[in-house]
Amino acid sequence: MNHPDTSTPDLVFLEQLVRFQDGALPADEIAALEAAMEEDPEKRRSFAVMQLRSMALHDQFRHEAFRSPDPVASSFRRTLRPALAAAAGLVIGLFGASVVWAISSPRATTERLFSLVNGGFEEAEPGRGFPTGTGFWSGDEAGTVETGSSEGGRRLRFENPGGDAGNPEGQAISCDVFQLVDLRPLRASLSAKGEAVLELSARFLDARPHNTKPSITFFCQIYLFRGDPAAIHKTWPMNLSESLASASGMVTTLGGSPADWKDLAAKCLVSEEADFAVIQIAARPNLRPAKLESLFADDVMLTLKTQPALPVRTVQR
């Protein structure tokens, strides 16, 4: 019996490498490719060789593009030989040295946080005033309606702007609805996940007839704070400068069709120092005083997205 050469990767694996190089490998096959390389050092070597050859060829062709053109065939032959030689030298240097090559397969993750409660406004009606605790909507005058929702059976309707108890002299220029979200349960895992981003997304609808004035600006905003969420209402919004991070998304409308929902998102980096988030959605008329009518929000979500730290390769020569 002829024994196979175990130093040569199988054709299926090589075909996967080529498709990976071309960006044509689907996610499930990429996971299988990573798993195969974790188990087989020879496959890791083949992967490294292909990557190095690709880089060398790319660099050589890039330089050739700035030189005087030659006939295609002869130019390709002259370019290919030194490029492959360079790749071979890189491979020899890589594997002749003492190399620590750690192929792990950390992946970016996206996780919806259900600590933001009632994001579809299917449950309790919003309260009045800035919230004094986590897990419920409260703010200016707003209610819910059962028709025309973006998802589920209900949607939020902005009704009247209101002032801020912590800033009695401020003008009531927008209808704001808030929710406080406790981030402390995430703290233990945040530091181990690399870069973490909180994304607030929401859908808004200006169902007034097309080209109705004044224009309306919708907002979704997120602020991260350290401390006790039950105490922030005492000085809101004068304490905005104390936020650890913040982000905002906005869109301005002049009416439209009953199905013309606008998607907004706001993203900010989050660390284990953040204790809670202030979630704010709002509708602001851009000419005042103005009555708010046919202005809606729905499908509010808070998502944690993590991007693992890049792997480290240590080379000793």
Domain ranges of the chain: 11-105, 109-307
Gap between the Cα atoms of 240 and 41, Å rounded: 53
Q: Which residues on adjacent β-strands are paired with residue 206? A: 295
Contacts of 270 (CB under 8 A, 6+ apart): 183, 186, 190, 196, 197, 198, 224, 245, 304
Per-residue pLDDT of the chain (317 residues; tens, 9 = 90+): 444 444 444 777 887 777 776 666 777 778 788 888 888 888 887 777 776 666 555 545 444 444 444 444 444 444 444 544 444 444 444 444 333 333 444 567 888 999 999 999 999 999 999 999 999 999 999 999 998 888 888 999 999 999 888 887 778 899 999 999 999 998 877 766 578 999 999 999 999 999 999 999 999 999 999 999 999 999 999 999 999 999 999 999 999 988 899 999 999 999 889 999 999 999 999 998 888 999 999 999 999 988 776 555 555 55
The CATH architecture annotation of domain 109-307 reads Sandwich (2.60)
Residues in a beta bridge with 182: 276
CA distance 308 to 175: 38
Report the distance separating Cα 148 and Cα 223, nearest Å.
30
- Integer CA distances (angstroms), 34 to 23, 44, 105, 106, 171, in order: 15, 9, 7, 10, 57
Entry pTM? 0.65
Res 23: pLDDT: 66
User: Which pLDDT score, from 0 to 100, does residue 240 have?
Assistant: 94
User: CA 181 to CA 304: how far, in whole Å?
Assistant: 13
